Chain A
Amino acid sequence: MEPVHFTRLDPYRLKIERRSPMRTWGLVYASPAIEHTLEKDQALRQVANVACLPGIVGPSLAMPDIHWGYGFPIGGVAAFSTQDGVVSPGGVGYDINCGIRCVRTALTLPELMPKRDILLAGLYNAVPAGVGSTNKAFKLGIQALNQVLVHGADWIVKQGYAPADDLEAHEDYGTIAGADPEMVSKRAIERGMPELGTLGSGNHFLELDVVEKILNSEIARSFGLFENQIVIQVHTGSRGLGHQVCDDYVHSMIATAGRQGIMLPDRQLACAYLSSPEAKSYLGAMAAAANFAFANRSLITFFIRQTFERIFGKSFEHLGMELLYDCCHNIAKIERVMYQGRQIEVCIHRKGATRALLPGDERLPIRFQETGQPVLVPGDMGRASYILAGDIGAQETFLSACHGAGRLLSRGMAKRQAKGRSILDELKGRDIHAMAASRATLAEEMPEAYKDVAQVVDTMTGAGVTRTVARLRPIAMIKG
């Protein structure tokens, strides 16, 4: 395989030179320390491969949490013209709208700590987690599932499981428009039916954090954040339903790409021109899966609020449990963006990246007009997470930012390094209490398996893409 040629532009960015058959260059946000982590795998090659797809606008981008994925790199962002560009199901990924939400509370660390373990156990019982986890207490019929696929988080609100106020705190208000359940296969429906309100496994988690440090007091105040405050993060997605949608459409688009004369550097980048019926079918199915994911995180939040109410003997409103924000990590959306001084319409693929709307963006509700959209960046189990807001440099990334720390070690390598160790005890040594459905998942997800999220955030903020608002420290978590 031909090596990828790149040069350093500044302390925060690498440029991948355009070589045939690339249609554009690559731009990777990476400090020298992050660049060092890219030497061993194929992530930069994947940035170059994405640059080969038709109708790409601007460079093929990668955020500093970049690592080797399949097709697109994780951390990849690419915009395609709606006139002559493509949509790629592999560019969205299997876990469609895998995403993160943060619920703030009015509780402080001293108020929570005496109840930490009983709360953790209560949450572990309330939220199904683990490989193939299903929700036996909440069975959906086909009609209800179709409503979920069309309406997303709004369906959860209509059923009385979440307050209406939550909706404004979602990307796209918790419903991706254009969802078409008819475009979702029977097998995908079958996989999704028992899984609404489940965490799943792998890197999915439910975490209690304390706001350790406020780094931008003005924005933090507007986001309702203060030091010593307890917040809750939930990271999960569309579960088996989204995986099946992706699998169905990658398969069918291999044939579509052939018919449409699109050369693929990697079959996982199978795609179709956005103007084609095949692309429209996928976007309808993808939106449906994305809405399932919004509803999934919303229902999990209902279980979390119920648990807090039971343990603290107060209503969730009294406990100040309000949704700060919920955003997608794996998604393709038609958006209008400024490019070379003019407004154009593109299909932006974010594969392990977060939308980062700037202050004044008309898509934001009033509460975020002055600050811009909250950008939630979960780190690993042992160190920190961050809350950011977009900055002017995000115009270069089609209003996108990093989505996490980014893996450093393979799952196999992590397990080998964890052999003979108790990750639970090590976390306890850092005053972090954890419960996990699987010991193997804990080993795979141990802190050293990830880059230092502080380096990732420093790169984004140093490049002017984000402003750092607050740093969180984990105190308790559930892993699948």
Chain B
Amino acid sequence: MFGSLCYDFDMSYTIIDHTADLGIKVQSMDIPSLFTEAAYALVEIMGAKANRPEREIALDVEGYDREDLLVRWLEEIRYRIESQALSIAGMTIETLTAQRLEASIAVAPRTSPLKTGIKAVTYHALEIHEVDNLLQTDIIFDT
């Protein structure tokens, strides 16, 4: 039923060695896939990947610009994992403008403890920029 939302979690991010916390560098061809890759990275790091989704949740996120929108999007995913005890099987971004994102995420109840506590997504040095015809961004998480 949620096949279109499932994802193979074939990650394309690298970990940044931030002294106090944890960061990732994400690269992608376009903005929707950059947002998706960043979200899957977060799910992977927190250890909240579901194999079999049980239901779908619609997310509607607003931001001032695409960087702010990226933080709000990741924060929304982080909140669902931590506070609503969900694991994530997949996601589809349906609408993405500079200030708004609508998406569906396929979720299941989380049955195991989190691997890494990500307590917030920070704005520190956050910038989406182009490198070798790819979009790239660094995101620092508060752990």
Chain A residues near B (Cβ < 8 Å): 41-43, 67-71, 74, 90, 94-95, 130-132, 187, 190-191, 200-202, 240, 243, 246-247, 250-251, 254-255, 258, 266-268, 270, 407-413, 440
Which of B27-35, B113-121, B129-137 is the interface stretch? B113-121
A67 touches B20 (CB 8 A): yes
Instruction: Evaluate contact between A131 and B124: CB separation under 8 angstroms.
Output: no
| A-B pairs with lowest CB-CB distance, top 10 | A70-B124, A267-B123, A131-B117, A410-B17, A68-B19, A70-B122, A268-B124, A243-B119, A131-B114, A268-B123
- By beta carbon, the residue of chain B nearest A255 is B64
A sample of 11 cross-chain residue pairs with beta-carbon separation below 8 angstroms, ordered by A number, consists of A42-B125, A70-B123, A71-B124, A131-B114, A187-B79, A187-B83, A250-B123, A251-B71, A267-B67, A412-B17, A440-B115
Q: Is B49 part of the binding interface, using a Cβ–Cβ cutoff of 8 Å?
A: no
Interchain nearest-CB distance for B80 vs A (Å): 11
| Chain A residues within 8 Å of B67, by CB | 267
Query: Which chain A positions have C-beta within 8 A of B114?
Result: 131-132
B126 touches A267 (CB 8 A): yes
Choose from B19, B75, B121, B126 the contact partner of A67 (Cβ within 8 Å): B19
B102 at the binding interface (Cβ < 8 Å): no
Query: Does B143 interact with chain A (Cβ within 8 Å)?
Result: yes
Which residues from chain B sit less than 8 Å from chain A, CB to CB? 15, 17-22, 64, 67-68, 71-72, 75, 79, 82-83, 113-117, 119-126, 140, 142-143
List of B residues within 8 angstroms of A187 by Cβ: 79, 83
* Closest beta carbon of chain A to B89's beta carbon, Å: 20
Give the residues in chain B near A268, CB-CB below 8 Å: 122-125
**Interchain nearest-CB distance for A111 vs B (Å):** 36
Give the complex CA separation of A109 and B69 in angstroms. Answer: 55
What CA separation (Å) do A440 and B79 show in the bound complex? 22
Q: For residue A201, which residues in chain B have a CB less than 8 angstroms away from its CB? A: 117
Contact of B19 among A90, A255, A407, A440 (CB under 8 A): A407
Cβ-defined contact, B119 with A94, below 8 A: yes
Q: Contact: B116 with A254, CB < 8 Å?
A: no
Q: Is there contact, CB below 8 Å, between A411 and B83?
A: no
In the complex, besides A243-B142, A254-B68, A266-B123, 8 extra interface pairs with C-beta distance below 8 angstroms are A68-B19, A90-B123, A94-B119, A131-B116, A247-B121, A250-B123, A267-B67, A412-B22
**Quick check: A70 and B71 within 8 Å, CB to CB?**
no
- Could you tell me if B83 and A243 are in contact, using CB atoms closer than 8 angstroms? no
Q: In the complex the two chains form, what is the Cα distance from A95 to B142 in whole Å?
A: 9
Do A130 and B21 touch (CB < 8 A)? no
Within the complex, the shortest CB–CB distance from B81 to chain A, in Å, comes to: 9
